[in-house]
Amino acid sequence: MVCYQGEYRLKTQLRILHLTSYVGKRSFGIGSAVLNLARGQQVLGHRVEIWSCDVKEEARYLEQENNLLPNTIRTFPIFGPSRLAYSPKLERAIAQQADEYDLIHQHGIWTAISRSTNYWRVKTGKPTVIAPHGSLDSWTLRRSMWKKRFAMLCYERENLHKASCLHALSSCEADGFRAFGLKNPIAILPNGISEEWLRQRGDARAFRERFRLSDETRLMFFLGRITPKKGLPLLLRAMSALRYDLKNWKLIIAGVNEFGHQNELESIAFKLSLESHVQFIGPLYGQSKRDAFAAVDLFVLPSYSEGAPVAILEALGAGVPILATCATPWREIVTNGCGWLTDISVAAIRQALHEAIHTPRDVLRDMGRRGKALIAKKYKINSIAEQLILIYSWLLGRKEKPSCVFN
């Protein structure tokens, strides 16, 4: 049960530390979620900091871009592989400043950041909240299994099992926590989107001119990590079966190439004779990302597994209808008439895609408007931030347990 209550402000300012490996370009969707949440909690009057392993210059840019207070993001250098996010300086800072915070909210797991959360919990006896952000679903657990087993042995088992509360983004993710053997209280609360994103307007023409896309070309858009988890080969094979229906359509793929997966996708597109229907444009940030959403007709996410992707919120918040697999936890996409959810198969995606590309533009725009209204009603970050403050306050013994928390 997700809790949505009226506006609430604590009389006592909380000192909240959000701990995550990265919030910048290396973070993908988690970074946007953390930045939005920190801003929402600062608006409520709380002292909020983010500690991460980003570079300092990027942190200052992110503070300005997301309307955060100066020096909200504190950065620490890493030692060793960037994926491990091991920072001796961060661990020393946690030890030296342990008493300055009421609570740690950790975002993402499997990195050395969990060592710091563990240490802080043992030293202070104060609450920790862990948000895996999709990292405990069965598909993800099967990837890099030996690395995850090593992390569990060294620090992650204790970090997870002794957390005061787990933060699930959906009921499906909460079920995954229980399947993993975790008995902690679970708060089910989704990611949110900022008021600024809902108000912003993108420049569709600027996007088309930048990437040499004609006004006549209809655009479907993928934004995220270019990685096997996202299921893009399924989408390409579905497109191949509809090649003649797609003569005016192009798939725009924006994101960072992980594990060399873009090379694999380019090879698949070539073999399926889809080269003219697929364009890779690299990662998009800031206004460039908003311009893309203004230009496209349809957002696609054919994933094998998802937590609660911020990209879906951003697309709906920009008024773009969705075509996604049922790995995306929001059945509201269908019940509110703002897109399509399919089974995870080429045949199911092909069927939904056939319907979507033959839907008139004005009908797609109506679907997009319904999606934006849904986000404005239920997924604004200020409301999500309020609910998390209630959860923190309960963990600190100051309030009753909120309805979105179950044991």
- Burial (0-12, 13-18, 19+ Cβ within 10 Å), 152: middle
Identity at 295, one-letter amino acid code? A
Angle at which helix 346-357 crosses helix 232-240, to 10 degrees, equals: 60
Integer CA distances (angstroms), 252 to 134, 222, 243, 261, 300, in order: 25, 6, 16, 16, 10
Flag whether pLDDT at 6 surpasses 60.
no
- Burial (0-12, 13-18, 19+ Cβ within 10 Å), 340: buried
The neighbour count for residue 57, using CB atoms within 10 Å, is 10
Q: Are 263 and 234 in contact (CB under 8 A)?
A: no
Flag whether pLDDT at 2 surpasses 50.
no
pLDDT recorded at residue 216: 94
Mean pLDDT of 82-102: 95
pLDDT bucket at 5, cuts 50 / 70 / 90? very low
Q: Which domains does the chain have, with CATH numbers?
A: 15-192+380-406 (3.40.50.2000), 199-378 (3.40.50.2000)
Q: Please provide the distance, in angstroms rounded to a whole number, between the alpha carbons at the two ends of the chain.
A: 12
DSSP result, 70-132: TT-EEE----S-TTTT--HHHHHHHHHTGGG-SEEEEE--SSTHHHHHHHHHHHH---EEEE-
pLDDT > 90 in the chain, percent: 85
Flag whether pLDDT at 7 surpasses 70.
no
How much is the mean pLDDT over the chain? 93
Identity at 1, one-letter amino acid code? M
pLDDT recorded at residue 11: 60
Integer CA distances (angstroms), 64 to 19, 30, 35, 44, in order: 20, 18, 11, 18
pLDDT recorded at residue 329: 81
Mean pLDDT of 15-36: 92
pLDDT bucket at 322, cuts 50 / 70 / 90? very high
pLDDT recorded at residue 326: 92
Question: Tokens 């191949």 appear where?
Answer: 240
Mean pLDDT of 186-193: 94
Q: What is the pLDDT of residues 210-223, one digit of tens each?
A: 999 999 999 999 99
Flag whether pLDDT at 161 surpasses 90.
yes
Q: What is the pLDDT of residues 353-378, one digit of tens each?
A: 999 999 999 999 999 999 999 999 99
Question: Tokens 């190439």 appear where?
Answer: 257
Distance CA 238, CA 120 (A): 49
pLDDT recorded at residue 1: 39
Q: What is the pLDDT of residues 217-274, one digit of tens each?
A: 999 999 999 999 999 999 999 999 998 999 899 999 999 998 899 999 999 999 999 9
Q: For residue 136, which of 155, 157, 118 has the smallest C-alpha distance? A: 157
pLDDT recorded at residue 138: 84
Residues 6+ apart with CB under 8 A from 148: 110, 141, 156
β-strand partners of 131: 107
pLDDT recorded at residue 60: 95
Q: Are 96 and 107 in contact (CB under 8 A)?
A: no
Instruction: Return the C-alpha torsion angle 50, 12, 394, 104, nearest 10.
Output: 20
